[in-house]
Structure 1
Amino acid sequence: MGEKEHWANELQQQLASKSSDLESLQHQLGEKESAIASLQQQFATEKQNLESQLQETVSKSSYEALQQELAEKSSAIGNLQVQLTEFHSLKDQLSQSAAKQLNYEALQQESQEQLKTIKALREQLVQMQAVAGIGEAYLNKWRRP
């Protein structure tokens, strides 16, 4: 074997070795690409899970804020109901007071009318006493024999 053939064999062995190394690297590259694809899938899944958890957290936060607002509004409604009850009580008292005022005014008017009637009856009494005095004088004249 000549030197050329020796070098050719050696180069072929190196080439075969390099081809084998290349195949091994390609196989490793395929495994790495598969692992990367798997990690990308896991990343996407984790990202989606985290986004869902974030949405739930935001929703829970919003829910808690709404619960707080509901509690405040319920308290305000309770206060307004108490005020409404007090208002109705004051309205009833005012109605009773107005009724008493009207009754008082009616009684006062009736009293004034009765005073007018009494005054008119006293005037009639005075007039009738004068007439009765005249009549009594005539009667006394006839009674004295």
Structure 2
Amino acid sequence: VWLMHDPAYPESLPGAPLARYTYTEAGELLAVYDRSNTQVRAFTYDPQHPGRMVGHRYAGRPEMRYRYDDAGRVVEQLNPAGLSYRYQYEQDRITVTDSLNRREVLHTEGGAGLKRVVKKELADGSVTHSGYDAAGRLTAQTDAAGR
């Protein structure tokens, strides 16, 4: 990604890209590099399921791993250096439980690629509501304080 125009410095554009991406032969995102050409993210994919990311890591951090169910949904996110998460899927609801046994519930509506989270119940008991237009774009959001 190259910076092509900067109104604050029109005569001084960088000589290197802002970010660079590499891909596998199958077209999967493999790595992200910053403007100093330092790798900042890396991705791992399941060879039996093209496009299914099973791991990613930020530079200097351990790899976050993902496990999937037979339907191709993430059921577990494993972080060896911190919190891990389990995902349970029900009709119009996803329950996310972390390794400290805190739970969030995501209530969803829609289908055909437009399923959206309309209500989020956080572990502390607070609730956020979201509204969307017919194209699936966020139109309103109300936090626990009613704002």
Fold shared per TM-score above 0.5 = no
Kindly indicate which of the two structures has a greater share of residues assigned to helix. Answer: 1
TM-score tier, shorter chain, comes to under 0.3
Higher RCO structure (Cα 8 Å, ≥6 apart): 2
TM-score by length of 1: 0.15
TM-score by length of 2: 0.15
